[in-house]
Structure 1
Amino acid sequence: MAPVEVPTEKPVTSVTHVVIFKLSDHFTTEEENRLITNFHSAKDVCRKPDGSQYILEVQGGRDVSPVKVPHHQGFTHGFVLKFASLEDRDYYYEQDPAHKKMKSGARAWFPEEDMVVIEVLNRD
């Protein structure tokens, strides 16, 4: 499939980062709550070296949609993080020690095939 050409007349105003994943039934309610709390804490614990926050917004939790099989494909949780810029998103991926710790913990909980990440460039 050929890449889609996206008009770039307007500058990027923010980056929306979406993560969805499957938690299997063997997770306890306590473990699920800890995972949700960890995601929501990202805005506060993920900081630049100067101490400034760079995640604008975090939302998400357990799926409550009435639309189920086959559409949700077993995904149970979703989170949306918003960054002010591609540079902030890159820092999150490549350098932030708090995010690296979160990623290593997540990989211990579920395999990569049980996780989907997509991003959208916002051009308000």
Structure 2
Amino acid sequence: MTITHIVMLKYPEGTSEATIKQTLDDAIALKSTCLHPKTGKPYMLSVKAGRDNSPEGIQNGFTHLFVMEFENAEDRDYYVAKDPVHQVYVKMLGALPIGAVMVMDFEGGCY
């Protein structure tokens, strides 16, 4: 079963649109720049990113998100803990004015 990795970002008021766009563009680029350690090829199945537009009003201040899909937990675990390109991205995020980050993963069909 595939693993879906969801990252939600809470940008403070006044964060520039350019900063937000670059953050999300960089997240999307991870699909092609994160390479599998054994094959040397991209290993993410998909990446989507964007601004929240839910009419429900229960976002708790989270404004943007990206969603990644991995073939299995092993690939997700490598991405989270070891992928050097992802590690650089995490450091870049840490240097930005982001109020909060929430990360959740799930495997479809597991309840």
- SS of the counterpart of 2:20? helix
Q: Work out the CA distance in 2 between the residues paired with 1:79 and 1:96.
A: 18
- Partner residue of 1:84? 71
Letter in 2 for 1:59: K
TM-score normalised by length of structure 1: 0.80
Q: Could you list the runs of 5+ residues in structure 1 that have no partner in the other structure?
A: 1-12
Give percent identity, aligned residues only.
31
Q: Work out the CA distance in 2 between the residues paired with 1:54 and 1:15.
A: 12
The within-5 A match list for 1:1-124 is: 13-49=1-37, 50-68=39-57, 71-110=58-97, 114-123=100-109
TM-score normalised by length of structure 2: 0.89
Show structure 1 runs of 4+ deviating over 4 A. none
Larger Rg: 1
Q: Work out the CA distance in 2 between the residues paired with 1:64 and 1:122.
A: 24
Q: Work out the CA distance in 2 between the residues paired with 1:84 and 1:100.
A: 20
Q: Work out the CA distance in 1 between the residues paired with 2:13 and 2:109.
A: 39
- RMSD of the alignment, in Å? 1.7
Q: Work out the CA distance in 2 between the residues paired with 1:72 and 1:94.
A: 27
Mapped contact 1:57–1:83 kept (Cα < 8 A): yes
**How far off is 1:123 after superposition?**
4.2
Q: Work out the CA distance in 2 between the residues paired with 1:110 and 1:32.
A: 10
Q: Could you list the runs of 5+ residues in structure 2 that have no partner in the other structure?
A: none
- Partner residue of 1:4? none
Q: Work out the CA distance in 2 between the residues paired with 1:107 and 1:37.
A: 16
Q: Work out the CA distance in 2 between the residues paired with 1:84 and 1:93.
A: 14
